[in-house]
């Protein structure tokens, strides 16, 4: 199912109010007439961030939404909940379809864009020439970044389309959703949308590119520009919401729960006074459980009682070595492809460093494969990470990933 056909207004009461964002068991949810707002597939518009939902709720009242603009916070959130979270492979299928018609991919692989060039004397000739000349530079930057970050075998003529798809698939899931939405709604392929969501071009350059390539007509230019700006605003609000609104102290004050856990150290056994793989496994269990559930945050350097131990106790030469060791564990024990779903940063508290590991729900099941231990599958049950036996895991995977 494509983004445009999905994102027609799924209900008739969206603009009749009163629309409110209310704290409930899901964190925060959008309510209309004291009833939770649901997507087409009966998923709630719920998120830990009140700010994100308030932005979506106010956007519901903008006339552009009421008159049929399908690129909106409301529809982007619903598309992810109903389609992408249910079946992540729909994104990959869409990317394979979109890369085949992308004018920049066609230019790179065949020497032609598939579009009739404008001739001198056309009112958009010089505009098109200048715009596309600039786009070639951005395309080269995108290619160079993709080659540095992706390792795939050279498959001849198929190498470049595969490289572009790999680049898009390595983005965080929210950016993949936005690339898919723009590609479907604007017939924009993958290169221009991915360049914009990565911050390589701004919405005006994106809209200019579609106009110069004659993918979108002049009369649609203002709407395409507005929709591109909406996508980038959604990304900014969503990203800031994921990073958390509260301070680290406030986060610790919540205490451990289903989406928050503390670990004193990454590798150092404080009682034994030496490094211990079992201590490393404790953090890996938590990260894999968050990836297999609804995401969450692991604080390394915080004791069970909320006091600060600091990553200094792990006795690395410096903080870069600490992060390098952590990421080596993640990639070798959980898989390289989990990287887009995990973010790390270091914050200072009480003159000590704390590592904040933020995990999003991953697009596939994640198994913990650590040398010296049995392979296991973990999920979050309340404030704990629990291993599942084979039959339980199979049922959970079927239910969770469809």
**For the segment 293-330, what is each residue's pLDDT rounded down to a tens digit?**
989 999 999 999 999 999 999 999 999 999 999 999 99
Distance CA 182, CA 166 (A): 18
> Are 279 and 300 spatial neighbours (Cβ–Cβ below 8 Å)?
no
pTM above 0.75, yes or no: no
Res. 171 pLDDT band, cuts 50 70 90: confident
Homologous superfamily in CATH for domain 248-401: Schlafen, AAA domain (3.30.950.30)
Homologous superfamily in CATH for domain 3-78: ATP12-like (3.30.2180.10)
Predicted pLDDT of residue 245: 43
**What residue ranges of the chain are covered by domains with CATH 3.30.2180.10?**
3-78
* Helix (H) / strand (E) containing 106: helix 103-110
Which of 193, 196, 221, 229 has its CA nearest to residue 95? 193
Among the ranges given (101-105, 197-201, 209-213, 240-244), the one the predictor scored with the smallest mean pLDDT? 240-244
Query: Is the Cα dihedral 33, 37, 42, 48 positive or negative?
Result: negative
Predicted pLDDT of residue 378: 97
Looking at every residue in the chain, the average pLDDT score rounds to 84
Exposure string of 276-304, with b = 16+ CB inside 10 Å and e = fewer, is: beebbbbbbbbbbbbbbbbbbbbbbbbee
> Are 166 and 99 spatial neighbours (Cβ–Cβ below 8 Å)?
no
**What residue ranges of the chain are covered by domains with CATH 3.30.950.30?**
248-401
**For the segment 4-25, what is each residue's pLDDT rounded down to a tens digit?**
444 444 433 344 557 888 877 6
Distance CA 29, CA 36 (A): 7
């Amino acid at each position: 199912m494509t983004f445009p056909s999905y994102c027609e207004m799924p209900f008739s009461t969206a603009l009749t109010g009163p629309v409110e964002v209310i704290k409930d068991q899901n964190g925060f949810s959008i309510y209309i007439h004291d009833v939770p707002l649901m997507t087409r597939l009966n998923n709630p518009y719920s998120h830990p961030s009140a700010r994100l939902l308030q932005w979506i709720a106010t956007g519901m009242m903008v006339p552009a939404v009421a008159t049929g603009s399908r690129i909106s916070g409301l529809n982007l959130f619903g598309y992810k909940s109903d389609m992408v979270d249910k079946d992540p492979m729909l994104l990959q299928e869409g990317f394979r379809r979109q890369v085949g018609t992308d004018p920049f991919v066609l230019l790179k692989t065949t020497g032609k864009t598939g579009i009739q060039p404008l001739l001198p004397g056309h009112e958009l000739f010089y505009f098109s020439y200048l715009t596309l000349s600039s786009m070639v530079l951005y395309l080269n930057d995108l290619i160079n970044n993709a080659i540095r970050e992706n390792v795939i075998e050279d498959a001849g003529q198929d190498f470049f389309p595969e490289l572009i798809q790999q680049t898009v698939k390595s983005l965080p899931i929210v950016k993949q959703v936005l690339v898919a939405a723009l590609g479907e709604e604007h017939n924009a392929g993958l290169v221009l949308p991915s360049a914009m969501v990565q911050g390589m071009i701004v919405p005006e350059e994106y809209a200019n590119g579609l106009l110069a390539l004659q993918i979108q007509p002049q009369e649609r230019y203002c709407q395409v520009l507005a929709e591109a700006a909406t996508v980038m605003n959604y990304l900014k609000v969503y990203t800031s919401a994921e990073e958390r609104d509260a301070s680290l102290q406030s986060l610790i004050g919540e205490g451990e729960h289903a989406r928050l856990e503390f670990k004193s150290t990454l590798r150092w056994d404080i009682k034994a006074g030496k490094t211990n793989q079992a201590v490393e496994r404790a953090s890996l269990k938590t990260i894999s459980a968050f990836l297999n559930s609804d995401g969450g945050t692991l604080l390394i350097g915080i004791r069970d009682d909320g006091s600060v131990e600091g990553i200094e106790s792990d006795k690395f030469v410096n903080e870069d070595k600490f992060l390098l060791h952590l990421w080596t564990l993640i990639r070798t024990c959980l898989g390289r492809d989990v990287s887009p779903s995990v973010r790390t940063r270091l914050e200072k508290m009480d003159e000590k460093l704390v590592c904040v590991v933020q995990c999003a729900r991953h697009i596939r099941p994640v198994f913990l494969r650590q040398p010296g231990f049995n392979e296991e599958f973990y999920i979050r049950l309340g404030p704990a990470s629990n291993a599942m036996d084979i039959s339980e895991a199979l049922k959970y995977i079927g239910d969770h990933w469809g």
